[in-house]
Amino acid sequence: MILLDTHVLIWHLSNPEKLSVKATQAIERAVNNNEVYASSISAWEMAMLVQRGRLELTMDVKDWLAIAESLTYLHFVPVNNRIAVKSVILPDFVYPDPADRIIISTAMSLKAFLITKDDRILSYKHVKSIW
């Protein structure tokens, strides 16, 4: 089971050539097993990035997300109370980014490998990550 960081979700669907070989292999295995997850906070993060002009998509973000949601192997995980609270009390994680904290908390809650290129997350010993 894997959880995609926001940038990995975008790259997987729009620019797969940006993914590392290990990330691509992990995603392919998870697709075959119907075990690819993304946090709903990634939808929020994408919409914020588009609104701020830091992310440009070839279509409206709502349409992009609708296509992503239609993929049978991709499951969005809502931010529930347990995930929200866990994101605030992550041991030894000092970075304040709320999306990163919720994504890490979601991966930990699912006991999933987190696919990310983010060095801060890759070096975080409390979550299993792949790049």
Q: Is-above-0.85 flag for pTM?
A: yes
User: In terms of residue numbers, what domain contains 79?
Assistant: 2-130
Q: What percent of the chain has pLDDT over 70?
A: 100
pLDDT digits (tens, 9 = 90+) for 51-70: 999 999 999 999 999 999 99
Contact residues for 40 (Cβ-Cβ < 8 A; gap 6+) = 76, 77, 78, 79
C-alpha to C-alpha distances, 16 to 4, 98, 102, 124, nearest whole angstrom? 13, 26, 24, 25
Backbone angles phi, psi at 35, to 5 degrees: -130, 45
pLDDT digits (tens, 9 = 90+) for 4-50: 999 999 999 999 999 999 999 999 999 999 999 999 999 999 999 99
In this structure, how many other beta carbons lie within 10 angstroms of the beta carbon of residue 76?
Answer: 15
In 3-state terms, what secondary structure has residue 127?
Answer: coil
pLDDT of residue 89: 96
Instruction: Report the CATH number at residue 71.
Output: 3.40.50.1010
- Answer whether 45's CB lies under 8 Å from 6's CB: yes
The count of domains in the chain is 1
> Which tokens in the block code for residue 93?
């994680």
The mean per-residue pLDDT over the stretch 96-100 comes to 95
pLDDT of residue 39: 98
pLDDT of residue 17: 98
pLDDT of residue 120: 95
Instruction: Give the strands of the sheet with 2-4, arranged side by side.
Output: 74-77, 36-39, 2-4, 113-115, 129-130
pLDDT of residue 62: 97
